[in-house]
Amino acid sequence: MKLSIERSVLLKAVSQAQSVVERRNTIPILANVLIEAEGENVHFRATDLDIEVMDRAVAQVERAGSTTVSAVTLHEIVRKLPDGALVTLTDDGASGRITVEAGRSNFSLATLPKEDFPVMASSEYTANFTAPAPVLRRLFDKSKFAISTEETRYYLNGVYMHVSDSDGGHVLRCVATDGHRLARIDADLPEGAKDMPGVIVPRKTVAELRKVLEDDDMQIAVSVSETKVRF
């Protein structure tokens, strides 16, 4: 695998990846980001087995391929590279290492094979809809403060997003509680969301999702199943 990508684009992708991976875990592959290069795109994927984040970026792919590398280490390297730098990632597929080059800087990082990277089970999404970023931002901002931080009460460690009845008809409702405080906030029900099953969006997912909801013009595609929600 060999590709070249703008530093700012790479930084955005690895920033999202490193914020999801667990820095302390007994499964080494979970500390890594999966990088897959093909055509004119490079795909990044990271997971802690509860959350999976994926990103796609445009790159100059000289040789297609895939590998995994420490998300935190790669992020630290890219973060310190100069603005405007063109970063080249090279993995020969045999040495178990990937090189990161930008100008006079050259780094060599250990890799793990793509085959070790966990694949989250696919899900049959029963509801698919689109919601404006400001709507989701308001729903989560007004409810996340009440999420419980007590890990033993896992069913309170998130925001319950569901369809509910209101005086004006059906609404999209978010509820959170820590047993002492209760937050409830409603929004107009998006088209296509009426039959969605209720899901608990975990605290960590809310925090990561919140980072991409700043653009007021962005439309967020949401897919929901009995066990998963995808944004």
Q: What is the pLDDT of residue 201?
A: 95
* 3 state DSSP class of 23: coil
What domains are defined for the chain? 2-116 (3.10.150.10), 127-230 (3.10.150.10)
Q: Which of 187, 189, 186, 199 is nearest to 230 (CA)?
A: 199
3-state secondary structure of 156: helix
Nearest CA-CA partner of 6 in 81, 86, 75:
86
Calpha distance 185→174 (Å, rounded): 5
Classify residue 146 by its DSSP letter: G
pLDDT in tens, the chain (231 residues): 999 999 999 999 999 999 888 777 788 999 999 999 999 999 999 998 888 899 999 999 999 999 999 999 999 999 999 999 999 999 988 899 999 999 999 999 999 999 999 987 767 888 999 999 999 999 999 999 999 999 888 889 999 999 999 887 899 999 999 999 999 999 999 999 999 999 999 999 999 899 889 889 999 999 999 889 999
Question: In sequence order, which ranges of the chain are alpha helices (DSSP H)?
Answer: 7-20, 71-80, 133-141, 203-210
| Cα–Cα distance for residue pair 92/74, rounded to 1 Å | 18
Q: Give the Cβ contact number of residue 105 at 10 Å.
A: 13
Secondary structure (3-state) at 31: helix
Listed residue (4, 49, 2) closest to 25, CA to CA: 49
CA angle 199, 56, 92 (to 5 degrees): 125
pLDDT at residue 23, rounded to an integer: 74
Strands (E), the chain: 2-6, 32-38, 41-47, 52-58, 60-63, 65-70, 86-91, 97-102, 105-112, 127-132, 158-166, 169-177, 182-188, 199-202, 219-224, 229-230
- For residue 133, the model assigns a pLDDT of 95
- pLDDT for the residue 94: 87
Asked if 54 and 45 touch (Cβ cutoff 8 Å), the reply is: yes
- Comparing C-alpha atoms, which of 81, 91, 103, 70 is closest to residue 8? 81
